[in-house]
Amino acid sequence: MTKGRIIYTENVKKSLEDFCAENSFNQLVFICDVNTEKHCLPIFGAINNLIVIPAGEVNKEIETYAFIIKNLIHLKANRSTLIINLGGGVVTDIGGFVASTFMRGIKFINIPTTLLGMVDASIGGKTGIDFQLHKNYLGTFALPEIILVDTNFLKTLAAEEFKSGLAEMIKTGIIANALLFNAIKDGIEFEQLISVAAKTKSEITERDLYDQGERQLLNFGHTIGHAYETYRLNIEQPIKHGFAISKGMMAETRLAFALGMINEDELNTIIDFIAIHTQQKELSSEDIMAISPLLSMDKKNSQHGIVFSLPTGIGKGKAKVGIMLNEIQKILLHA
Ligand SMILES: NC(=O)c1ccc[n+]([C@@H]2O[C@H](COP(=O)([O-])OP(=O)(O)OC[C@H]3O[C@@H](n4cnc5c(N)ncnc54)[C@H](O)[C@@H]3O)[C@@H](O)[C@H]2O)c1
């Protein structure tokens, strides 16, 4: 069986039982946050081993990591244990990081419960936590055994979380798949959109698991988006990941236009599309100034400046575009 395979199901409990029957784990441990414990866990019936973490990005950090490890030790988890990450991107990122480092790595599966998780975060094997508010500074590449997607979980998801998830789908459409972009525009059936977006991410990450080339395209919106997300965490006004990425994509689309990578029609189409679907505004000049020091600390930076993945049209893009900070400011402060 290929690792990281996505299985769509309408009966997630049965699918989990089937997977466990094909394997020999001595113990299953669920990791949830407080919301997925309440809304998603009950479908699995009585659970023996459960670790519940507080919800939200501020908790995707080292103390929560240590808390989970302590609990695993308490539960006598070992290398034959299966970790089941049941939650959005925060749970699958931290749960995957725990699984890939505990006793040098134990098996895990992801059961995404947010739209963002189903189309992006649970797929592709990037795990990690933030460190002192630096986004995803500690992490590993480690694929889950499988990813079980049951869209019934979305019934309890807040409307704002939907928009946040849509932002990552739009990102994949703009930078890698024009058909996905058009499908979102045409409003095709949501379940179908999820599988197209997930398949696009999955295929790209299969070709480039370690983020050396093509996968970097999926960082579109993330250089500026992560800096803005970090800034908002710093001032204790967290913003949803997808919303930070929306703002990041709009700013980075302006960079692409200034560099002559897209024409004015494409600039307007992309920016309007993002703004309408995610209902986010572009970053202000104050925001650009506030995030500038954080941009200089981005983990992708090189001697060619701050590194971006930018669109070269709709459905295509270019990775590893280096731009100096003063140039970025010049473009974005006068946009
Ligand atoms: N590893 C990757 O490749 C990758 C890709 C994209 C994003 N991410 C990460 O994903 C994270 C964002 O993920 P997210 O948007 O899913 O956030 P999240 O995990 O914080 O979930 C959002 C909120 O929804 C709640 N929730 C989850 N499922 C629910 C349900 N079914 N019903 C009701 N409430 C529910 C959560 O408790 C939380 O409050 C960020 O940390 C980001 O860095 C990782």
Last-in-domain residue among 156, 188, 208: 156
What is the predicted pLDDT for the residue at 267?
98
Q: What is the pLDDT of the chain when averaged over all its residues? A: 96
Query: Do residues 215 and 329 both lie within one domain?
Result: yes
Q: What's the residue count for the chain?
A: 335
- Within 10 A of 301 (CB to CB), how many other CB atoms are there? 15
d(CA 233, CA 227): 10
Does ligand 1 lie within 6 Å of residue 153's CB atom? yes
d(CA 268, CA 273): 8
What is the predicted pLDDT for the residue at 304?
78
Last-in-domain residue among 156, 190, 219: 156
- Where residue 188 falls among pLDDT bands split at 50, 70, 90? confident
Query: Do residues 152 and 165 both lie within one domain?
Result: no
Query: Do residues 142 and 195 both lie within one domain?
Result: no
Does ligand 1 lie within 6 Å of residue 37's CB atom? no
Distances (CA, A) of 265 to 83, 169, 240, 254, 313: 47, 21, 29, 12, 10
Domain that holds residue 320: 159-333
- For residues 229-235, give the mean pLDDT: 94
Does ligand 1 lie within 6 Å of residue 144's CB atom? no
| pLDDT beyond 80 at 218 | yes
- Within 10 A of 97 (CB to CB), how many other CB atoms are there? 23
Does ligand 1 lie within 6 Å of residue 81's CB atom? no
Secondary structure of residue 22 in the 3-state scheme: coil
Query: Do residues 111 and 86 both lie within one domain?
Result: yes
What is the predicted pLDDT for the residue at 248?
98
Atom 41 (ligand 1): residue with closest C-alpha?
90
Query: Do residues 26 and 116 both lie within one domain?
Result: yes
Between strands 126-131 and 134-141, the pairing is antiparallel
Query: Do residues 171 and 98 both lie within one domain?
Result: no
Last-in-domain residue among 156, 173, 207: 156
**Residue 247 is part of a domain; what is its CATH number?**
1.20.1090.10
Atom 21 (ligand 1): residue with closest C-alpha?
88
Cβ-in-10-Å burial (0-12, 13-18, 19+) of 98 comes to: buried
Amino acid making up residue 17:
E
What lies within 8 Å, CB to CB, of 180 at 6+ separation is 169, 172, 173, 193, 196, 197, 200, 315
Query: Do residues 147 and 166 both lie within one domain?
Result: no
Alpha carbon 309 to its chain's center: 16
**Degrees (nearest 5) of the Cα angle 293, 241, 93?**
100
What is the predicted pLDDT for the residue at 227?
95
Query: Do residues 289 and 168 both lie within one domain?
Result: yes
Tokens coding 104: 């040098």
**Residue 135 is part of a domain; what is its CATH number?**
3.40.50.1970
Query: Do residues 58 and 204 both lie within one domain?
Result: no
User: pLDDT by residue (tens digit) across 15-40?
Assistant: 999 999 999 999 999 999 999 999 99
Atom 5 (ligand 1): residue with closest C-alpha?
121
d(CA 33, CA 242): 19
Total domains in the fold of the chain: 2
What lies within 8 Å, CB to CB, of 105 at 6+ separation is 99, 142
What is the predicted pLDDT for the residue at 1?
54
User: pLDDT by residue (tens digit) across 54-79?
Assistant: 999 999 999 999 999 999 999 999 99
Does ligand 1 lie within 6 Å of residue 95's CB atom? no
Query: Do residues 168 and 311 both lie within one domain?
Result: yes
- Where residue 237 falls among pLDDT bands split at 50, 70, 90? very high
Distance 162 CA to ligand 1 centre (A): 10
What is the predicted pLDDT for the residue at 111?
98
DSSP 40: T
Query: Do residues 268 and 318 both lie within one domain?
Result: yes
pTM score, two decimals?
A: 0.95
Query: Do residues 139 and 166 both lie within one domain?
Result: no
User: pLDDT by residue (tens digit) across 118-141?
Assistant: 999 999 999 999 998 789 999 999
Nearest Cα residue to 68 out of 93, 103, 48, 95: 95
Distances (CA, A) of 254 to 66, 251, 269: 41, 5, 12
DSSP 113: -
